[in-house]
């Protein structure tokens, strides 16, 4: 019976057209991910050569003044992307994967970003997560909305009721046929993506495909619940499409607006103003007072003393640059906490919205979420601090540029890691799927069979 149902359904134009469209969109999404990865790899491979050329070019121009040389020099930090990022690009098209910073004030450099075509940002990226989250549910709705009603509307339901031992088992077999096709299609696309993008077998990849399957099962449980209401095909189609709009568009938009309104980030502007004021006002401040504040942060550097020259000197200049960051530190920390709080609140709401939860889970697994970027910014801050403390003694002691082993200054690499909580990732999808499944069987019992 199951084999015959499978063959019969796979031969329908609805099934063939739906599978063809899903495969085409899936292939396009895989190619989009491949292009994303290639762009990232190309930029990463070029950064080593470009940094060496950048250092050498400035050495040729300013080899007699280390302070002036370091005013221009920038050192790169690379956020290494997992191949899974190609499946769920997330925020990585907005947040740069490579950041170059000098030893000047950091706050103004941390949030520099790449130039991106605004039209591309408007339409976003068609990655595989988009296909799984938005396209597959529409395919499931198309396959299941008339699971029962087509039999009744074509006049074959009475024959089914007579010939079949249980009409419920008959509908479940039809549903299983559609589940098998969708899951098989999902595996085909994921396998193709793994081969094309070089995704290896790992805990993260296993979690990604598991979440994708559970998300499809949620939509099947929702569709089956509506089908068991024993309404006509038009009602089922309109209801399920309304559910798709609410779950994938309206509710995530509402949550986004609530988070934006309730957790504003005025510190973004305040941090910039504080940092700029903290630096620029030092031009009119006593140099000794500036250096005293600087030495309170780095007492080990006080041995270099207080330059008596009333004119310009790099000792005082880099001290005042650092104080720009110091005086904006409170606002910077507040902004970081606000961003983390936003992500936490969004994650809490997402537990009740399957589409939003799935998207956030995909982004977290792929390392393309906000937490990844915040961790990257922390690494940039650590790298900036380490680089400054290496060069400060050389600048303050007026060392020659030849005393620095420039060949050691290669781009730094950051690898994002996170612990996998299977219960938190899978639990919400399992619970909501079971809920709609139980409702479906409740309607079946209430209607004394379907």
To which residue do tokens 């449980």 refer? 221
Per-10-residue mean pLDDT, the chain, length 450: 82 92 94 91 89 92 90 92 90 82 85 58 75 95 88 72 75 91 96 93 92 96 92 92 95 91 72 64 76 88 79 84 82 83 90 94 91 90 92 90 88 85 90 93 74
pLDDT value of position 302 = 87
pLDDT value of position 382 = 93
Q: What angle do CA 143, 164, 167 make, to 5 degrees?
A: 50
Number of domains in the chain: 1
Residue 219 domain-assigned (yes or no): yes
User: Which three-class secondary structure state does DSSP give residue 202?
Assistant: coil
Kindly state the tokens that stand for 421: 């909580």
Residue 30 domain-assigned (yes or no): yes
Distance CA 194, CA 286 (A): 61
Kindly state the tokens that stand for 276: 């700029």
pLDDT value of position 434 = 95
Burial 180-192 (b: 16+ CB within 10 A, else e): ebbeebbeebbee
Let me know: does 51 contact 75? Beta carbons within 8 Å.
yes
Residue 303 domain-assigned (yes or no): no
Kindly state the tokens that stand for 238: 């309109």
pLDDT value of position 274 = 65
Residue 383 domain-assigned (yes or no): yes
Distance CA 286, CA 83 (A): 53
DSSP secondary structure string for all residues of 59-97:
HHHHTT-HHHHHHH--EEEEEEPPGGGGT--TTTTTS-S
Residue 58 domain-assigned (yes or no): yes
Containing structural domain, residue 151: 1-262+328-450
Sign of CA dihedral 352, 355, 356, 358: positive
pLDDT value of position 126 = 85
pLDDT value of position 277 = 63
Residue 268 domain-assigned (yes or no): no
Residue 438 domain-assigned (yes or no): yes
* Percentages of the chain per state (helix, strand, coil), in multiples of 5: 75, 5, 20
Give the closest residue to 38 by CA, choosing from 79, 91, 76, 81.
81
pLDDT value of position 164 = 67
CA distances from 426 to 209, 315, 324, 362, 433 (A): 11, 56, 45, 12, 11
- DSSP β-ladder status, 75-80 and 98-101: antiparallel
Give the closest residue to 317 by CA, choosing from 68, 74, 61.
68
Residue 193 domain-assigned (yes or no): yes
Distance CA 317, CA 15 (A): 70
């Amino acid at each position: 019976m199951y084999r015959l149902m499978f063959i019969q359904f796979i031969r329908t134009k609805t099934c063939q057209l739906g599978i063809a469209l899903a495969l085409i969109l899936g292939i396009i999404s895989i190619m989009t991910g491949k292009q994303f990865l290639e762009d990232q790899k190309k930029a990463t491979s070029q950064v080593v050569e470009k940094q060496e050329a950048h250092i050498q070019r400035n050495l040729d121009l300013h080899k007699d003044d280390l302070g002036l040389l370091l005013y221009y020099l920038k050192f790169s930090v690379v956020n290494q992307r997992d191949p899974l990022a190609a499946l769920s690009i997330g925020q990585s098209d907005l947040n740069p994967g490579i950041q170059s910073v000098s030893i000047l004030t950091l706050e103004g450099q941390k949030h520099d970003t790449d130039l991106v075509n605004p039209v591309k940002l408007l339409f976003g990226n068609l990655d595989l997560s988009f296909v799984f989250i938005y396209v597959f549910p529409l395919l499931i709705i198309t396959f299941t909305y008339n699971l029962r009603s087509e039999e009744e509307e074509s006049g074959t339901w009475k024959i089914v009721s007579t010939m079949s031992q249980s009409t419920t088992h008959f509908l479940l077999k039809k549903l299983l046929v559609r589940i098998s096709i969708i899951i098989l299609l999902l595996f085909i696309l994921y396998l193709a993506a793994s081969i094309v993008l070089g995704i290896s077998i790992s805990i993260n990849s296993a979690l990604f495909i598991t979440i994708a399957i559970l998300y499809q099962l949620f939509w099947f449980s929702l569709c089956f619940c509506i089908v068991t209401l024993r309404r006509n095909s038009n009602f089922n189609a309109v209801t399920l499409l309304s559910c798709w709009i609410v779950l994938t568009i309206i509710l995530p938009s509402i949550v986004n607006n609530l988070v934006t309104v309730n957790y504003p980030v005025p510190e973004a502007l305040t941090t910039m103003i504080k940092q700029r004021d903290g630096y620029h006002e030092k031009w009119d401040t006593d140099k000794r007072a500036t250096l005293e504040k600087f030495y309170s942060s780095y007492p080990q550097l006080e041995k270099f003393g207080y330059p008596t020259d009333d004119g310009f000197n790099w000792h005082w200049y880099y001290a005042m640059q650092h104080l720009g960051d110091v005086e904006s530190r409170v606002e910077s920390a507040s902004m970081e906490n606000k961003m983390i709080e936003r992500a936490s609140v969004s994650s809490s709401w997402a537990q009740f919205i399957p589409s939003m939860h799935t998207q956030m889970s995909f982004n977290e697994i792929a390392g393309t979420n906000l937490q990844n970027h915040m961790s990257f910014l922390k690494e940039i801050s650590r790298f900036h601090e380490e680089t400054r403390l290496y060069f400060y003694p050389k600048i303050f002691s007026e060392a020659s540029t030849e005393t620095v082993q420039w060949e050691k200054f290669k781009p730094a690499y950051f690898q994002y890691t996170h612990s996998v909580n299977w219960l938190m990732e899978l639990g919400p999808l399992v619970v909501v799927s079971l809920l709609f499944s139980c409702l479906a069987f409740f309607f079946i019992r209430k209607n004394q069979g379907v």
